[in-house]
């Protein structure tokens, strides 16, 4: 039995298709949108349509941008000889928030996962190898420490090492504020292997 009119039900159904939005959240968002002033709803609608129509991949690093080059690749002050390889644009944003990395990025848009049928040709590896034909000193592999991320890191490392370009992997291990007793063995081992001298 439908509790709402078809327009409300349709809005709730569309919102519930978004990742991380369940039925209750979709219902809450739908009623919030309905109660918003018409101008705000139009601004929200225009922002979504504008993003869909204008956002594309940066021709250099393949992050999402509305220009030919993203602001990072277009910045001459960045170290273009140091490339950090990440799985997605959200990972790039996380590193940018630290304000400490001065190089550039390469976004793979995924990770190698034979179980899901995702191979090396399904992510942006060819484009990375093409970029390495330019003057590059170091590739930092910053894929997740999941099985897929580790597989991707190993594959990239094997591809790049013969070129003579330095390849490094981000350290992973104990999170700040984490209690050792609650952390799994693999994470503890990675923390031990990635230790630095004090």
Q: So what's the pLDDT on residue 1?
A: 40
pLDDT in tens, 20-43: 999 999 999 999 999 999 999 999
pLDDT in tens, 71-114: 999 999 999 999 999 999 999 998 998 888 999 999 999 999 98
Q: What is the mean pLDDT of residues 50-75?
A: 95
Q: What is the mean pLDDT of residues 56-79?
A: 95
Percent of the chain scoring above 90 in pLDDT? 72
CA distances from 76 to 72, 86, 92 (A): 9, 21, 18
Q: So what's the pLDDT on residue 5?
A: 78
Angstrom distance (rounded) from CA 143 to CA 149: 5
Domains and CATH numbers, the chain: 79-171 (3.40.1360.10)
Q: So what's the pLDDT on residue 197?
A: 64
Percent of the chain scoring above 70 in pLDDT? 95
Strand partners, 168: 140
pLDDT in tens, 163-179: 999 999 888 776 777 77
**What are the b/e assignments for 33-56, b being 16+ CB within 10 Å?**
eeeeeeeeeeeeeeeeeeeeeeee
Q: So what's the pLDDT on residue 2?
A: 62
Structure tokens at 196: 């630095």
Averaged confidence pLDDT in the chain: 90
The conformation of residue 118, written as its DSSP 8-state character, comes to B
Residue 149: closest CA among 164, 169, 124? 169
pLDDT in tens, 39-57: 999 999 999 999 999 999 9
Q: So what's the pLDDT on residue 191?
A: 73
What contacts 24+ positions apart, CB below 8 Å, involve 9-16? none
């Amino acid at each position: 039995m439908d509790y709402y009119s078809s327009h409300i039900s349709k809005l709730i159904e569309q919102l519930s298709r978004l990742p991380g939005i369940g039925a209750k959240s979709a219902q809450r968002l739908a009623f919030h949108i309905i109660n918003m002033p018409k101008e705000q709803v139009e601004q929200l609608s225009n922002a979504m349509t504008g993003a869909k129509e204008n956002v594309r991949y940066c021709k250099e690093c393949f992050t999402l941008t509305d220009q030919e080059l993203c602001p990072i690749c277009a910045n001459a002050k960045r170290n273009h000889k140091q490339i950090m390889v990440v799985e997605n644009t959200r990972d790039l944003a996380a590193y940018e928030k630290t304000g400490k990395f001065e190089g550039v990025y390469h976004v793979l848009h995924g990770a190698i996962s034979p179980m899901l049928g995702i191979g090396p040709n399904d992510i942006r590896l060819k484009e990375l190898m093409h970029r390495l034909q330019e003057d590059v000193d170091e590739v930092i592999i910053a894929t997740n420490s999941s099985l897929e991320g580790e597989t991707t890191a190993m594959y990239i490392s094997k591809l790049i090492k013969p070129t003579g370009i330095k390849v490094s992997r981000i350290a992973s291990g104990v999170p700040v504020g984490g209690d050792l007793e609650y952390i799994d063995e693999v994470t503890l081992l990675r923390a031990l292997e990635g230790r630095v001298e004090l």
